[in-house]
Amino acid sequence: MRKWAKEHGLLVANLACFLVFFVGMVLSGAASYSEDQQAHGEPPVSVLQFLGTGAFVEATFENWESEFLQMAMYVVLTVFLFQKGSSESKPVGKKAPQDGDPQQAAVSRATPWPVRRGGAVLKLYENSLSILLFALFLASFALHAAGGVDEYNQDQQSHGQPAITFLQYLGSSRFWFESFQNWQSEFLAVGVLVGASVYLRQKGSPESKPVAEPHYETGA
User: Which pLDDT score, from 0 to 100, does residue 136 have?
Assistant: 98
Q: For 149-173, what is each residue's pLDDT tens digit? A: 999 999 898 888 999 999 999 999 9
pLDDT band at 96 (very low <50, low <70, confident <90, very high): confident
User: Which pLDDT score, from 0 to 100, does residue 105 have?
Assistant: 85
Q: For 23-35, what is each residue's pLDDT tens digit? A: 999 999 999 999 9
CA nearest 36: which of 19, 21, 53, 48?
53
Domain ranges, ordered by start, for the chain: 1-50
Distance of alpha carbon 219 from the chain centroid: 23
pTM of the model: 0.91
Total length of the chain = 220
Distances (CA, A) of 97 to 19, 84, 101, 124: 35, 17, 9, 19
In the chain, the percentage of residues whose pLDDT exceeds 70 is 100
User: Which pLDDT score, from 0 to 100, does residue 220 have?
Assistant: 64
User: Which pLDDT score, from 0 to 100, does residue 97 have?
Assistant: 86
Query: Region 186-200: what's the mean pLDDT?
Result: 94
